């Protein structure tokens, strides 16, 4: 990545646009093992609802404890082989459930959802659909103090290089349309808007929702920025009292919701944009929980010591530790970087060049912020330097001349402040 020769113009990053030359997704042969990651910590083994050796059906809800809010869907039937604690980002305590998959002939499907799909309700949607590809999040509808006024379907990809959601807009507008109809029925909210890039506007019109064009310049597709843009238009219309809050669903999730209610069967195949070391982009459709190494094998991608594998895009993704990391419901993109391409962060102070301040999409005084963060003055950073306003796009660290890991400082600060708050409220 090089900056423009004319450095007084700030660098621009644009989202990838899906083209006709993008091949249809590759489907993988079924993996022998799948692994599901759950946000619930594995603390007290007596509360476990699962046990090693238990048989699970395809489409069965997998929960760590009975009252855990978080669950996953087994994408294939099989036998539970391992239940382990898993350490996520910022030391998040998670649980990993490994399943040895039954052979294709012996697959057993769970029919709990089929029974309730005839009588859709918001509770059932929250109970069954959150494990779908695209991870639809129904929690905003259950927060009584912040009523949702609009639903936004994201036909844009959050991450650079990804074309996952654009693919669904391009090819599955019919099931997106039925997904939107179901969301309207479930929530009673009629105001549904589809946010799509310019080249998909025509297709998106068929979904029966309002269409909003999103710029290709990063980070215009960020939900926060889309919402702000929508509100600006609303306010121009004279409705100054409108404090709209919106729920966001990815195009893939809405398409999966549509398919689930139409067929009574939960679609549990995740579409992933795979970016190999040489930058080539391919789509691959895999059952949720498929280990990364199976995808690497399919695409003949050799991984050497020191390479970097990223779940998510180049600016906001997460680097994984091992090649058996599973594809999750929200894994839109996987990219591989050769070790020789990796630039190291530096251990030097901010030189106050101001690149970060000029590129920040929400005008945070990053030069002040980073001084406070490096001194671990997190409360001061929130009070004086607008830490809370950050939408976590990663651009500040992308342009940093001193190569300070600004984004990491910000995440750590937010995490630490949250922990402090949690400790205070617990006494």
Partner 1 sequence: MAESIKLTVSHAPFWHSGSQISVKNYHILVATLLAVIPGVLQYGIPALSVVTLSIASAMLWELAMNYVTRRPITIGDGNAALLGMLFAMMLPATTPWWVVIVGTFFTIVVGKQIYGGLGGNPFHPAVLAMAVLMLSWGSYFDFNEALVNYQFDFNPVYPLVLAKSFGAGAVEGFNALDLLLGRQIGGIGTSCVLGLIIGGIYLMLRGYIRWEIVVSFIVGMFVTAFCFHQVNPDVYASGSFHLLTGYSMLGAFYLATEDSSSPVNFIPMLIYGALGGFLAVLIRNIGTHIDGVIFAILVINLTNPIIDKIRPKTSRKVINYA
Q: Which of residues 223-242 bind partner 1 (CB under 8 A)?
A: 224, 227-228, 231
Is residue 421 within the footprint of partner 1 (CB under 8 A)? Answer: no
- Binding test (CB under 8 A) with partner 1, winner from 129, 204, 315, 381: 315
- Binding test (CB under 8 A) with partner 1, winner from 357, 380, 382, 417: 357
- Binding test (CB under 8 A) with partner 1, winner from 171, 405, 415, 417: 405
Supply 343's token pair. 């630039």
Please identify, using beta-carbon distances, which residue of 266 and 393 lies nearer to partner 1.
393
Is residue 417 within the footprint of partner 1 (CB under 8 A)? Answer: no
Residues in 123-182 that interact with partner 1 by CB under 8 A: 146
Is residue 363 within the footprint of partner 1 (CB under 8 A)? Answer: yes
Is residue 407 within the footprint of partner 1 (CB under 8 A)? Answer: yes
Q: How far is the CB of 151 from partner 1 (least distance, A)?
A: 14
Supply 113's token pair. 């959802």
Q: How far is the CB of 18 from partner 1 (least distance, A)?
A: 21
Whether the CB-CB separation of 121 and 255 falls below 8 Å is answered with: no
Is residue 112 within the footprint of partner 1 (CB under 8 A)? Answer: no
- Binding test (CB under 8 A) with partner 1, winner from 26, 108, 244, 417: 244
- Binding test (CB under 8 A) with partner 1, winner from 49, 81, 323, 416: 323
Nearest C-alpha neighbor of 361 from the set 159, 161, 226: 226
Is residue 274 within the footprint of partner 1 (CB under 8 A)? Answer: no
Q: How far is the CB of 273 from partner 1 (least distance, A)?
A: 15
Scanning 54-62, 113-121, 173-181, 222-230 for contacts with partner 1 by CB under 8 A, the matching segment is 222-230
Is residue 322 within the footprint of partner 1 (CB under 8 A)? Answer: yes
Scanning 17-25, 205-213, 259-267, 336-344 for contacts with partner 1 by CB under 8 A, the matching segment is 336-344
Is residue 335 within the footprint of partner 1 (CB under 8 A)? Answer: yes
* Spatial CB neighbours of 73, under 8 Å, sequence gap ≥ 6: 59, 60, 61, 62, 128, 131, 132, 266, 268, 288
Count of residues that interact with partner 1, criterion CB under 8 A: 78
Please identify, using beta-carbon distances, which residue of 115 and 235 lies nearer to partner 1.
235
């Amino acid at each position: 990545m090089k900056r423009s020769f004319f450095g007084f113009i700030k660098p621009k990053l644009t989202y990838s646009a899906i083209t006709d030359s993008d091949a249809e997704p590759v489907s993988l042969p079924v993996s022998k093992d799948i692994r599901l990651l759950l946000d619930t910590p594995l603390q007290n083994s007596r509360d476990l609802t699962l046990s090693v050796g238990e048989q699970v059906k395809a489409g069965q809800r997998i929960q760590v404890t009975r009252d855990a809010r978080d669950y996953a869907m087994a994408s294939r039937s099989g036998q539970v082989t391992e239940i382990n604690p898993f350490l996520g980002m910022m030391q998040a305590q998670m649980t990993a459930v490994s399943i040895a998959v039954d052979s294709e002939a012996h697959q057993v499907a769970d029919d709990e959802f089929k029974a309730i799909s005839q009588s859709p309700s918001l509770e059932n949607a929250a109970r069954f659909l959150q494990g779908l590809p695209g991870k639809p999040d129904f929690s905003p509808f259950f927060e009584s103090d912040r009523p949702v006024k609009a639903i936004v379907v994201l036909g844009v990809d959050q991450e650079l290089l990804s074309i996952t959601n654009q693919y669904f807009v391009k090819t599955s507008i019919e099931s997106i349309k039925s997904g939107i109809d179901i969301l309207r029925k479930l929530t009673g909210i009629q105001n549904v808007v589809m946010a799509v890039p310019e080249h998909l506007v025509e297709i998106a019109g068929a979904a029966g929702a309002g269409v909003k064009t999103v710029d290709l310049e990063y980070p215009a597709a960020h939900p926060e920025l889309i919402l702000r843009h929508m509100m600006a238009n609303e306010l121009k219309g004279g409705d100054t009292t409108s404090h709209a809050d919106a729920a966001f669903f990815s195009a893939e999730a809405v398409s999966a919701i549509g398919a689930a209610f139409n067929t009574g069967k939960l679609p549990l195949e995740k579409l992933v944009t795979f970016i190999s070391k040489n930058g080539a982009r391919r789509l691959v459709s895999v059952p949720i929980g498929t280990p990364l190494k199976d995808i690497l094998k399919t695409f003949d991608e050799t991984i050497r010591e020191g390479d970097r594998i990223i779940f998510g895009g180049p600016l906001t993704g997460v680097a994984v530790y091992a090649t058996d990391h599973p594809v999750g419901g929200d894994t839109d993109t996987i990219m591989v970087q050769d070790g020789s391409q990796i630039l190291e962060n530096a251990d030097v102070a901010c030189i106050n060049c101001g690149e970060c301040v000029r590129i920040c999409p929400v005008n945070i005084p990053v030069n002040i912020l980073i001084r406070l963060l490096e001194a671990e003055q997190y409360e001061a950073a929130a009070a004086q330097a607008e830490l809370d306003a950050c939408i976590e796009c990663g651009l500040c660290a992308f342009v940093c001349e001193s190569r300070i890991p600004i984004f990491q400082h910000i995440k750590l600060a937010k995490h630490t402040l949250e922990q402090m708050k949690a400790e205070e409220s617990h006494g």
